[in-house]
Amino acid sequence: MTAKPQQFASDNYAGICPEAWAATAAANDGSARAYGDDIWTQRAADAFRTLFETKCEVFFAFNGTAANSLALAALCQSYHSVICSSSAHVETDECGAPEFFSNGSKLLVAQTPDGKLNPEAIRALACGRSDIHFPKPRVVTITQPTETGQVYSIDEIRAISATCRELGLKLHMDGARFAHACARLGCTPADITWRAGVDVLCFGGTKNGMAAGEAIIFFDTSLATDFDYRCKQAGQLASKMRFLSAPWIGLLESGAWLGNARHANDCAARLATTIAGLPGVRLAFPVEANSVFLSAPEAVLDGLRERGWLFYTFIGGSARFMFAWDSDIAVVRALGQDIVELCAPAAGMPPAPQSSYG
Ligand SMILES: *Cc1c(COP(=O)(O)O)cnc(C)c1O
């Protein structure tokens, strides 16, 4: 087994992109006011207002778990509930942080085949109970793109927000890979957020080329009241804030936020094309962003492991490959080639039955 020059087990295996790095270095210029009262933080927040073409309220947190949990907590009282997909990161990967920071707001999960919410699923959960004994539905959270790489169209988001409005629910978007959704849809960031009825967005920087950091963007600015206190109390107010905010200047002002995402999506599309139609393997989910979920016989997955590839199989047993701003097309090709070889009958692989999960 030889070590690979690059791995695709996660998009947070990648380092810091040059634009974010340069902007951090530029901010590393002598002293500056602390706790966000500095010119870099101001400029980063303004860059978001320019990007989103609106006067939004912008806050910076260290990671996505904090951003999501604090945003949801800001929208809820402890007796409220949050409607999400059963595969939502807030449900499966945040260790109860949304419930913790909201002092008990319950997550109501919808089982949907593709991990996407839709008006019917929301309505079923929101209207299932209306008595005093059940936590009152208050927020819908959607992940764009979903944890398995599906992208909500503008129309799908509009339909969800119309349902939210009708039922008196706020709409939150977990955009850990928001840039990848914009790259896929070719729309403006405004089109899939406030123009489509999203109230609050968590915009991921980490998976877009930064060392750390997510932005919490309130399009309904009335919801941002005292959010700064909430961030501070949760340990999310950086004293040297400029180093959390400046990388955003690099990403947003250069356009790297979109270029990075396009490249990552392109790598996923390339791998998907390479393995299309191979015997015994299939894509467990449509490839619409920067991930490929490969359903393959255990022998093929073992073969990939033996050849040194790292990947997770925590979602339905399929092998997940995630691409980032720095994914090397030659290494993507090498991975594809290994899958092709491992699937070839000539390599001694009997055709295995298709797995049925996914
Ligand atoms: C990565 C990710 C997050 C943020 O995770 P942290 O590890 O807390 O930064 C949030 N939502 C989704 C869908 C993610 O993939």
Contact 320, 255 (CB under 8 A): no
- φ, ψ at 119 (rounded to 5°): -55, -40
pLDDT at site 355: 45
- φ, ψ at 340 (rounded to 5°): -55, -50
Burial of 4 by CB count in 10 Å (0-12 exposed, 13-18 middle, 19+ buried)?
A: middle
* Chunked mean pLDDT (size 10), the chain, 358 residues: 85 97 98 98 98 98 98 98 98 98 98 93 96 97 97 98 98 98 98 98 98 98 98 98 98 98 98 95 97 96 97 91 98 97 70 45
Task: Give me the domains of the chain, ranges plus CATH numbers.
Answer: 18-254 (3.40.640.10), 257-346 (3.90.1150.10)
CA 64 to ligand 1 center in whole angstroms: 5
> Is the pTM here over 0.75, yes or no?
yes
pLDDT at site 356: 42
Residue 20: CB partners within 8 Å, gap ≥ 6?
A: 205, 209, 210, 211, 247, 248, 250, 251, 256
- Binding-site residues, ligand 1, Cβ < 6 A: 63-65, 68, 89, 143, 147, 174, 176, 206-207
CA 71 to ligand 1 center in whole angstroms: 14
**Which residue has tokens 């951090």?**
24
pLDDT at site 28: 98
Residue 38 carries which DSSP code? S
pLDDT at site 2: 65
pLDDT at site 315: 83
pLDDT at site 1: 59
Q: Are strands 319-322 and 200-204 parallel, antiparallel or unpaired?
A: unpaired
Burial of 136 by CB count in 10 Å (0-12 exposed, 13-18 middle, 19+ buried)?
A: middle
Mutate to test the pocket of ligand 1, among 93, 180, 206, 290 (most ligand atoms within 8 A of CB): 93
